[in-house]
Each structure stands twice: as C-alpha cells, then as structure tokens.
A and B are shown apart, each in its own frame.
Chain A
Amino acid sequence: MSNLLVRETQKLIKAQGSLLFVESVPGVKYGEIVEVELSNGEVKLGQVIDAGKSITVIQVFGGVSEVDLKKSKVKYRGETLKIPVSIDMLGRIFNGLGKPIDNGPEIIPEEYLDINGAPLNPASRLPPTEFIETGISAIDGLFSIVRGQKLPIFSGSGLPHNRVAAQVVRQARVRGKEEKFAVVFAAIGVPYDDAMFFIENFRKTSGLEHVVAIINTASAPIIERIVTPRVALTIAEHLAWNYDMHVLVVMTDMTFYCEALRELSAAREEVPGRRGYPGYMYTDLATIYERAGRVAGRKGSITQMPILTMPDDDITHPIPDLTGYITEGQLVFSRTMWLKGIYPPFDPLMSLSRLMKDGIGPGKTREDHHNVFMQLISSYAEGVRLRELSVIVGTESLTPRDRRYLEFADKFEREFINQGEYERRTVEETLDKAWEILAVLPEDELKKVKPEQIRKYHPKYRVSLPVQRTE
C-alpha cells in the first residue's frame, strides 16, 4: 500500500555510530523499516527508533560509516521488519537477517512475519510438563528439561558449552514418542569455526534436514546481532504453531548479543544502567526468552537453550544475572570441575531447573526421582561444605560420618556428573547410578528419600541377579 506513496527524503542531518538523523516525512511510523541508498548505489536497511514530526532517528543496520549526508537518500518502506517464512527453511542456512547464504534457492514465502512476534497470552499457555530425556545424567537427574522451557547454559570462555549443547541436540528425545521435531540454531556474533562446529555436528548426526541455521558471525555488522535471535524465533514459531513441530532453539552466544545492545544504547546516548548496559536490557532479553512455551490447542512447542559466557566467570554480571531472572533455571558450568577433568562440567549446586518438578515422577520418569534428586543435592552440599572444612582443619579431625560424605562427593562428581560425550544414559540408568552412589552414605543419613524407596532401590536391598552373584 505504501509503495504508491513516495516517501523519501534526501535531507540527512547527522550520522553517528549506527544512528542517522534525518528530516521526517509526513506519517513516519515508529519501528518502520527504511532503505538508506548510498551514492554508490548500495542499499542499507535501517529502522526508525524515534519518530518525530520534524526529525526522525534511524538505526542503520551495518552502521553509517559510508553514508554521505549530501548524496544519500532515505526511503521509507512503511512496514516493520518482516521476514518470509516457510517449511522449506529446514535444512538451510541463513544470515542474521534471514537471507539464504548456502547458495541454495531463495525461499518461497508462505507468510511474512514480523520478527518481533506478539506476546503469548499468559492465559493460553500450558504449563510445560513433558520430560525431555537428554541422556546426560546431570541434566536428567538433577535439572531436567521439559518441553516449552527456556534453560540457558552459563559458561565461561574456554569451557565446553558448544560440545554439551551439541550433545543435548544429538541425544534429546521425549520418551516413548516419535514426533515431528526441529532444531533452530542461531549463532550470534560467534567466530565462524564455532558456528561450523554446530553445522558439522548436525550434518553428522540427525541430518541437516531437521535444522534451520541462522549465522551471524563475529565479522557481520553488529546491528544484525540484535535481529538474529528474533529472526530465529520467528522461524521457530512458524514451525511450532503452524506445523505442530517441537522446536529446540539453541542460541549462542547471548553475551555478544548483550554487548551489541550496549553499543547501540551508547550510540543513542541513553542513560546507562549497570556496567554500561541499558536499563531496559531485562525487558529486551525477556522479549527473546519469553518466546518459548506451549499453548492450548497447538501440538507444537518451543524450547530454548541459550548459551552465554559469563564475563570473568562472574554470575552476578548483568548478562547472566538478568538472564537468570527470566529463564526457568540455569545450567552453570564450573571451571573447577572442568580442571578436575569432569565432562560435562556442571556445578550441581548452582545449576537449577525450575520446571523440573512438573516433568518428573511416576508416569513421567520414576516415582523416586524427586526424592533421589533432593537427597543427592543436599548430601553433595554437605560433602562440599565438609571438603572446604577439611582443607582448614585436616581430614583427621573429621568424624567417620563426615569422611563418608567426602567420599560421596568425590564419587558423585566422578561417576554421576562425569560422562562420555557420546554416552547416553536412560533416566533409569541415571537413577540407579544415583542409588549406587548414595549407598556410600550411612542409611540413616538418607532422610530425603522415603523408607519404602530405600527398600526398593537401595543396592543393599536389591535382589542381585544370579549372573552378578557368580562374579
């Protein structure tokens, strides 16, 4: 409709960072997309971030470095940022703005969707309850993921977050079900080889045909970084709500996203919040992370696993802090564990899944799951406390009970958390292993599990199989 109207201006007033101040045209819309035509014919996209009667502020994707105020032209498109979506996007690779970069054909759109989406009506949401078995004991046993959840990995530089995320993608399944699934992978400002690590991994295992990859590498314009996760989620929503697919969205690295946000905020000369990050970063991140869930009347679901590297391993840094306030738990990596040679190097005490309680238990995993989880964590916490104590006072001054806790904590790390990168454990195997390790402790210390569960699952009471007896 707006194509009929000529809405363009050549009166460019000021260019700064990624912002362009231009004279307004009548009826400029907040959030509308503009084309900045450079003197050499190149066209850059931009978005209106402040629509005034006389002056419009435009944020230019790719920066304003080559914009010549005298010779450039700004065309208003009259529309907000929309991307074409289609089921054919599966198996393809796109850039941060949703353009194919794999030399394949253009996408024939089924629909054009606004990348900002629209908030899910809280009353239409279904609480996530379907347990996803990842085959990783630490996750399944201690911080289970359910469909529709958003559970980030808080990592540090040099830690194996990409390998763990790839293992989750490779192994995750819902027990006893064969359903349509898809993975949407968004690389945000990561080095090219990190992005390719995932692509290769997908290619080798489940096949690329289940995957939509959105790649915004470190060398791409920073402003595209803001758009990348939104493009990924818009595609995910199309697959989940219109094609009944269970979509897992992996986004790495959200730290680069937040840094891009800070850079833009500084360019807009906004009042900075903590550590220079904009005050609205919580809300901004929420508009990304909240695009996960299940809704009544639709079969599909969106589960998110964002990955972020904590600057200086600091969990109170605004990026992990605000993320943790929005997501439903967090999987925290520990450098200490990694140095001990433990893979995946989860910190069992700092990691948490808020939605676990609804996904486990009788009919879902096993009836002792909740109690075993509580017992493992509280006993491990006690073990860690005593370990710290023993560093100061020496192991000799510990009671026999305390020493058993130390043994438990070590065994828990080495045998339960530690696992092969290609090893898949069923949830039963995970829970049985947990009982084996709990057997290190005196029975009367197992207060979180029920007596009848002890009798049923504790190795001491389990009838051994004849085969084992002959050993």
Chain B
Amino acid sequence: MLKGKIHRVSGPVIIAEGMHGVSVYEVVEVGHDRLIGEVIGVEGEKAIIQVYEDTTGIQVGEPVYATGNPLSAELGPGLIGSIFDGIQRPLTKLEEVVGFLIRRGVKQPSLPRDSKWYFTPVVKPGVKVSSGDIVGYVQETEAVKHYIMVPHGVHGTLEWVASEGKYSIEEPVMRINGKDISMLQKWPVRKPRPYVEKLEIKQPLVVGTRVVDFLFPLGMGGKAAIPGGFGTGKTVSLQTFTKWSHADITIYVGCGERGNEMADALHSFRKLIDPKTGRPLMERSVFIANTSNMPVAAREASVFLGVTIGEYFRDMGYNVLLVADSTSRWAEAMREISGRLEELPGEEGFPAYLGSRLASFYERSGLVKAMGSPERVGSLTIIGAVSPPGADFSEPVTQSTLRVVRALYALDVSLAYRRHYPAINWLTSYSLYTEDVSKWWINIEPEYPTLRELFMKILQREAELEELVRLVGADALPVEDRLILEVARMIREDFLQQDALSLEDAYSPPLKTALMAKAIKLFYEKAQEAIKIGVPFEKVREMRVREKIARMKNIPFSTPQDQLITFFNDLYKSIIDEFNEITNEVESRVQSSRT
C-alpha cells in the first residue's frame, strides 16, 4: 500500500507528500490514528486531503496511507433502522464501543458482520442473470423486504444460489461465472447508480400536509427545496413529511444540524406507528446524522451517502423519500474547505462549483425503470432544506438550489410569527408537478382542478385586497370583496393551517383534504348567492356553521372512508340548511314588506 507523510495541517485540510499515484476522491487514512480522509486534489507528489475527523493533535510527518478505493457506501441487509454518521460509521455500535462521546479513529464496519439474515432465493441456478436481477430476498423488518440483486457489472450464468436459510452479509449466497457473491455490496457515493431510463412523473408523493398535497403537490421521484429562516419550522415540516409520506422507505439526513433534533426524530420514529404497515416508522427508515459539531468535511459525505442508499432501495422498486436538513450547512462546509485551499471564491465566498455540486445531488432524484428483472419501477424523491442567512432568499445557496428543483416550499417568517403552521407561503411557493399529477387527483376528486384554482384565486385576491384594507378599512370594500376576505381567512385558518402535533390532523389523507376543500367552496358559493338576494353580509359572517367548518379538520385521519364521507355530507347539509334559513328570512321579509 502506498504510504506518504503529512506535510502541513490546517484544520480539516491536510497536505501530504510522497503520494505519487493517488487519485482524486480516493480514500486515505491519515496519521497513526488512521483518520478517514479523502483526496480532493493532487499536485505532483503532493495530495490535498480533506479529513472527515477532527485533526487536532495530528503531527507533521505522520504517515498517510492510500487505500486505492473511492469513498463508498456499504449496501445490504442491516441498513434499515440504522443510524450512521457522515462516513457511514454505525453510531449505535460506536456508543457500545467508545461510549457517548465520539472519539476519532474508531473503526467499525458500517453493516453488522455477525448478524444472520434469513435469505430466500427466488430464482433457480442455471439461468442467465445480469446486473440488477433479483436473486432472492431478506425480510429485513416486517415492513421492508430487502431484495438481493446481482451487483452492477456482473452478468453470466447463475451457477449456484444459496438455499433458504440464515447467512451473514459476507457469506456467499450466489455464484456467477465462478465468482462467489455475498449480500454485501459497495458503491462509490459520488457516482449515481445506473438505471434503464427515467420515466415521466405522473403521481404525487402524498405527504399528508394539505398545503403541499393540494396546492403544491410533490411529484413521486421529484425534487423540492424548503428554504426558511430559523424558527419557520423547516425541521418540523421535514419530520412531518417523512413521518406521514406515502413512501416505502425514508432516509433522513441530518447534515450540520442540531443533535437534540436528531435525538427527537430518532425517538419519535421508534415510537410512531406507520399507518400503512402497522409497524414503527423506524422499520422503514435510515438515519444519517452528522450534527453541526461533528467534522465539517463529513457533511458532504453524509449527503451523498444518503442519496446512494436511497438509490439502492429505489433499484429494488421502492418509492424512497430522502430529506436533507440542511443543504446550507453542506454548502458552508464547501466554502470552508475551498477557503482553506485558497481557491478563488465566487459569490459570498462560496466556491464557483457550488451550483453544479448541488445539482449533482438533486439530479439523482427521479422515477426510474430499474435495471434487471423482474421489471420494476422505483423512485427517489429528494427534499432539501435550505437555511438562508437572515431569511433572505437572494443568497447563493437558495438561488443555486432553485435552479435545479421543481418545487419550492417557501417558509415565511411573518407567517411563523403569526403561528400559521406550516408556514409555507402560498404566494411565493410553487410546484411544477401540479399539472403532471392532476389526473391522479381527479381520480380522488373530479373537481380538483377547479377547487385548486378557486383557492389560489381567492388567496391571491386577498393579498391584493389587503393593501386596500390598510388604506380604507374593510368596511369600505364592496360586499363581494369582503366575502373574499372572509373565505380567504377560512382557507388559511381552517384548511391550510395544520398542527403537526395534532393527534387527529397531523396527517390529512387526500380524500379528507378534498372533502374539506369542497366544504369551503360550498360555503363560498352559497354565500355569494345569499348576498346576491340581499342577505346582509354580517348575517353570513356570523353563521353558526362556520364554527363547524373551523372544526372539520379535527376529524381523525384514521376515520374509515365511509364515515368520513358521511361526516362531510352532514357538514354540507348543515351549510345548505343554514343558508336556506337565512335566505328564507330575507325572502319572507321581502314578501311581508310587499304585502
């Protein structure tokens, strides 16, 4: 193995000499403690290395060992339910070995070598196989069947396949062209995993948050960003999405964020029961935690590690959701490393390659036809949080991100101050998937396009009117506009606001969302009619049924469909009845005044 010497240490950046023949992105081990590092530049016999662990105390002259391999993820049974740091060290295992503080230089295999998994073959020996073919599976948790695929680059005759039974991930389970292959695979994290083709997105990834699902749907296999100042609820939103989304597998990347938040997510994922599988959410989740006080260089590794694991499950035919909180911390790490390398800085000190690096992450999302047989389609959806300094979206990370993503959930400080949660601003957010998924929605609610359009129109009109109200007061507005203001308030408070902690409403199934929207539309239409025939606006504003509408969100999401429909039909009936009441009053008054 090639061995060089440390020439200079400056924070996470090390320059080593005597490194002839190493290549960029090769993993090296630095110093007597053998800290993990990655070559990020080569100049003659000198290599520039970013170190993924704390370099304090590292001595000039200590050895540097080249490994010949790029930074790779271990893939195989054992991933689900795990929590890794940025370079895939298993954090739960590390705790057993070195206690609750992270010591450097500790080496542990990413996936447990001693666990035995019950492998079931699904093909018979003798057949021709190629990359991506499913040979068998392991029921990794009750919620996830982990398919064992032929590794990429391997094809030929399947000479032998292990019989049903327990195997560790390093024991061979198949032989192809004389080569024994185990369940453990490695994949370089910076390299996208191949697929047959990308497919057009036609389905939303339902996350159970009304403002997303109904107004700005996220495509399954899509990419979205959620920028917001501190306290606007980025993390709560992301956690809510991961908890309730219709994805099969969720990957939560905590990149340079709070340790307590990570602990909270871990604990709630262990406790919360996934309504789809009836099992704890942890049984379909993978966590990557590189908190803000952990080494800066590993932030980038954590993001690419997450996306690689995501692609791996996508290749099995699963719908995977990956959230990264926060990509800004990764960008800051790039800036720090770039500064140490004395590269020419771009905007605000960020390196010029900020945009392309971010794109290389988001571009790995998609709905794809996976390689191998049986034929299958999988998806990887990515949502990245962005933390713009001073909540100013014009900064480089937000702007570079917006150039790649197709949906934006803009968190708004003023909404958060008003405790309107989720604080997703309906005027500045957008989704380019709206058209693509509207057919899917129409299957649930034929009126979907009209409903959505009406809501957007009312909300936009409200914004215009607000300026006017500030000048002349609401009373000076024509009745139609005052009605718009009332209905807009109804949409905001009774529909868009959704309490992530509510036991009944943290998740809103698409049907409930649609039925709620229809109630508001019905109220609006009835109110327009009533006003037309002369019902005083105050009467409409003070209707009793409005409280019922305000409380409709409290119908638990677990309510069976038929009961849900009955509940809303009752609500519609109360709306119609009360409107009849007040219009009859007016009509009879008109009649009596005539007689």
Chain A interface (Cβ within 8 Å of chain B)? 24, 26-32, 49-53, 80, 114, 116-128, 148-149, 270-274, 279-280, 282-283, 286-287, 290-293, 295-298, 316-318, 321-322, 324-326, 328-330, 349-350, 352, 354-355, 357-358, 370, 374, 377-378, 381, 385, 389, 392-393, 397, 444, 447
A113 to chain B, nearest CB (A): 11
Q: Are A273's CB and B101's CB within 8 A?
A: no
Q: Point out the residues of chain A lying under 8 angstroms from B9, CB to CB.
A: 29-30, 50-52
Cβ 8 A contact of A389, one of B7, B56, B469: B469
Q: Are A328's CB and B58's CB within 8 A?
A: no
Cβ 8 A contact of A274, one of B54, B95, B231, B348: B348
Cβ 8 A contact of A286, one of B231, B292, B470: B292
Q: Known contacts A26-B61, A123-B92; is A279 also within 8 Å of B231 by CB?
A: no
Q: Point out the residues of chain A lying under 8 angstroms from B262, CB to CB.
A: 122, 125
B391 to chain A, nearest CB (A): 7
Q: Point out the residues of chain B lying under 8 angstroms from A321, CB to CB.
A: 229-230, 389-390
Q: Are B59's CB and A28's CB within 8 A?
A: yes
Q: Point out the residues of chain B lying under 8 angstroms from A149, CB to CB.
A: 260
Binary CB contact string for chain B from 528 to 562 against chain A (1 if under 8 A, 0 otherwise):
00000000000000000001001100000000000
Q: Are A27's CB and B470's CB within 8 A?
A: no
| Among B67-75, B309-317, B471-479, B564-572, the stretch in contact with A | B471-479
Q: Are B296's CB and A280's CB within 8 A?
A: yes
- Residue B432 at the chain A interface, CB threshold 8 Å: no
B425 to chain A, nearest CB (A): 16
List 7 tightest A-B contacts by C-beta distance, closest first: A286-B292, A316-B390, A31-B56, A125-B263, A124-B100, A324-B230, A30-B9
B88 to chain A, nearest CB (A): 13
Nearest opposing residue in chain A for B494, CB measure: A447
Q: Point out the residues of chain B lying under 8 angstroms from A349, CB to CB.
A: 417-419
- Residue B332 at the chain A interface, CB threshold 8 Å: yes
Binary CB contact string for chain B from 237 to 249 against chain A (1 if under 8 A, 0 otherwise):
0000000000000
B254 to chain A, nearest CB (A): 7
Q: Are A119's CB and B61's CB within 8 A?
A: no
Cβ 8 A contact of A51, one of B8, B267, B336: B8
Q: Are A50's CB and B8's CB within 8 A?
A: yes
Q: Bound complex: CA of A170 vs CA of B58, how far in Å?
A: 44
Nearest opposing residue in chain B for A398, CB measure: B473
Q: Bound complex: CA of A120 vs CA of B94, how far in Å?
A: 11
Q: Are B100's CB and A298's CB within 8 A?
A: yes
Q: Are A324's CB and B293's CB within 8 A?
A: no
- A to B CB contacts below 8 Å, 14 in the list: A29-B9, A53-B8, A80-B56, A122-B83, A122-B91, A123-B92, A271-B345, A271-B349, A272-B349, A282-B256, A291-B293, A298-B100, A357-B501, A392-B470
Q: Are B470's CB and A374's CB within 8 A?
A: no
Q: Are B419's CB and A393's CB within 8 A?
A: no
Chain B interface (Cβ within 8 Å of chain A)? 7-11, 54-61, 83, 91-92, 94-95, 99-103, 229-231, 235, 254, 256, 258-264, 266-267, 289, 291-294, 296, 329, 332-333, 335-336, 339, 345, 348-349, 387, 389-392, 417-419, 469-475, 493, 499, 501, 547, 550-551
Cβ 8 A contact of B7, one of A53, A121, A293, A355: A53
B340 to chain A, nearest CB (A): 9
Cβ 8 A contact of A120, one of B102, B349, B387: B102
Cβ 8 A contact of A352, one of B60, B231, B390: B231
Q: Bound complex: CA of A349 vs CA of B419, how far in Å?
A: 8
Instruction: Output the residue of B60, B267, B348, B389 with the most chain A CB within 10 A.
Output: B60
Q: Are A397's CB and B260's CB within 8 A?
A: no
Q: Bound complex: CA of A229 vs CA of B218, how far in Å?
A: 44
Q: Are A80's CB and B95's CB within 8 A?
A: no
Q: Are B56's CB and A123's CB within 8 A?
A: no
Q: Point out the residues of chain A lying under 8 angstroms from B91, CB to CB.
A: 121-124
SS class, residues of chain B in contact with chain A: mixed
Q: Point out the residues of chain B lying under 8 angstroms from A273, CB to CB.
A: 335, 348-349
A412 to chain B, nearest CB (A): 14
Q: Point out the residues of chain A lying under 8 angstroms from B266, CB to CB.
A: 122-123
A289 to chain B, nearest CB (A): 8
Q: Point out the residues of chain A lying under 8 angstroms from B348, CB to CB.
A: 273-274
Q: Are A290's CB and B291's CB within 8 A?
A: yes
Q: Are A280's CB and B332's CB within 8 A?
A: yes
Q: Are A279's CB and B336's CB within 8 A?
A: yes
Cβ 8 A contact of B60, one of A49, A52, A116, A295: A52
Q: Known contacts A120-B102, A274-B389, A283-B332; is A370 also within 8 Å of B56 by CB?
A: no
Q: Bound complex: CA of A274 vs CA of B389, how far in Å?
A: 9
Given contacts A30-B56, A31-B56, A80-B56, 9 further A-B contacts (CB under 8 A): A49-B10, A116-B54, A118-B54, A126-B263, A149-B260, A279-B339, A321-B389, A321-B390, A324-B231
Q: Point out the residues of chain A lying under 8 angstroms from B501, CB to CB.
A: 357, 370
B534 to chain A, nearest CB (A): 21
Q: Known contacts A271-B349, A321-B230; is A122 also within 8 Å of B291 by CB?
A: yes
Q: Are B292's CB and A124's CB within 8 A?
A: no
A455 to chain B, nearest CB (A): 15
Q: Point out the residues of chain A lying under 8 angstroms from B60, CB to CB.
A: 24, 26-29, 51-53
Q: Are B94's CB and A121's CB within 8 A?
A: yes
Q: Point out the residues of chain B lying under 8 angstroms from A297, CB to CB.
A: 100
Q: Are A127's CB and B264's CB within 8 A?
A: yes
Q: Bound complex: CA of A444 vs CA of B549, how far in Å?
A: 12
A239 to chain B, nearest CB (A): 16
Q: Bound complex: CA of A374 vs CA of B505, how far in Å?
A: 15
B308 to chain A, nearest CB (A): 20
Nearest opposing residue in chain A for B421, CB measure: A374
Q: Bound complex: CA of A417 vs CA of B465, how far in Å?
A: 33
Q: Known contacts A30-B9, A31-B57, A283-B336; is A119 also within 8 Å of B293 by CB?
A: yes
Instruction: Output the residue of A24, A282, A292, A374 with the most chain B CB within 10 A.
Output: A282
Nearest opposing residue in chain B for A322, CB measure: B389
Q: Bound complex: CA of A325 vs CA of B188, how far in Å?
A: 32
Q: Point out the residues of chain B lying under 8 angstroms from A316, CB to CB.
A: 389-392
Q: Are B418's CB and A286's CB within 8 A?
A: no
B578 to chain A, nearest CB (A): 15
Q: Point out the residues of chain A lying under 8 angstroms from B292, CB to CB.
A: 282-283, 286-287, 290, 326
Q: Bound complex: CA of A121 vs CA of B332, how far in Å?
A: 22
Q: Bound complex: CA of A109 vs CA of B261, how far in Å?
A: 34
A144 to chain B, nearest CB (A): 14
Q: Bound complex: CA of A374 vs CA of B472, how far in Å?
A: 31
A433 to chain B, nearest CB (A): 20
Q: Bound complex: CA of A349 vs CA of B99, how far in Å?
A: 40
Q: Are B56's CB and A290's CB within 8 A?
A: no
A177 to chain B, nearest CB (A): 21
Q: Point out the residues of chain B lying under 8 angstroms from A292, CB to CB.
A: 260
Q: Bound complex: CA of A318 vs CA of B230, how far in Å?
A: 12
Cβ 8 A contact of A290, one of B57, B259, B264: B259
Instruction: Output the residue of B61, B267, B294, B345 with the most chain A CB within 10 A.
Output: B294
Nearest opposing residue in chain A for B55, CB measure: A30
Nearest opposing residue in chain A for B387, CB measure: A325
Nearest opposing residue in chain B for A286, CB measure: B292
Q: Are B58's CB and A279's CB within 8 A?
A: no
Q: Bound complex: CA of A125 vs CA of B56, how far in Å?
A: 24
Q: Known contacts A122-B259, A126-B263, A324-B231; is A393 also within 8 Å of B473 by CB?
A: yes
Q: Bound complex: CA of A318 vs CA of B229, how far in Å?
A: 12
